């Protein structure tokens, strides 16, 4: 059965369950649902953009759990000077 599933490229549903659980629990524990996190990200981009030019579409922000320490991790790429110099179109 697992071999057939492997051939068909199907994942085991327990793994999906665990991954979904871990994600939902990180948000539950921080009392920060995904939509609120998205709003926080927009605010963060707005504030940062006032000071520095960033690649706003590539900004990633997520909650992580490391044992009992919760962390808000932001990855904010700066807009590269080369990209800025490139003519549009």
Partner 1 sequence: MAARVVTVTSGKGGVGKTTATANIGVALASAGQRVVCIDADIGLRNLDVVMGLENRIVYDLVDIVEGRCKLRQAMIKDKRLPDLHLIPAAQTRDKTAVSPKDMVRLADEIRPDFDWVVIDSPAGIERGFRNAVAPADLVLIVTNPEVSAVRDADRIIGLVEAEEKGPPQLVLNRVKPEMVRRGDMLSTEDVLEVLAIQLIGVVPEDESVLVSSNQGLPAALDPKSRAGKAFRDIARRLNGEEVAFEDLEARDGFFGRLSRLVRPGGAS
Phi, psi for residue 60 in degrees, rounded to 5: -125, 135
Phi, psi (degrees; rounded to nearest 5) at 10:
-90, 140
25 binds partner 1 (CB under 8 A): yes
Q: Site for partner 1 (CB under 8 A): which residue of 47, 68, 88, 89?
A: 68
Candidate list 9, 14, 84, 86; residue touching partner 1; CB under 8 A: 14
Binding of partner 1 by 24 (CB under 8 A): yes
C-alpha torsion angle, residues 26, 27, 30, 34 (rounded to 10): 140
Piece in contact with partner 1 (CB under 8 A), picked from 25-33, 54-62, 70-78, 80-88: 25-33
């Amino acid at each position: 059965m697992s071999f057939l599933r492997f051939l068909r490229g199907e994942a085991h549903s327990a793994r999906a369950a665990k991954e979904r659980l871990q994600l939902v629990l990180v948000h539950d524990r921080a009392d920060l649902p995904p939509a609120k996190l998205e709003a926080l990200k927009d605010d963060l981009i707005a504030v940062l953009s006032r000071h520095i030019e960033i690649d706003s579409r590539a900004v990633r922000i997520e909650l992580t759990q490391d044992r009992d320490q919760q962390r808000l991790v932001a990855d904010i790429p700066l807009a590269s000077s080369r990209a800025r110099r490139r003519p549009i179109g």
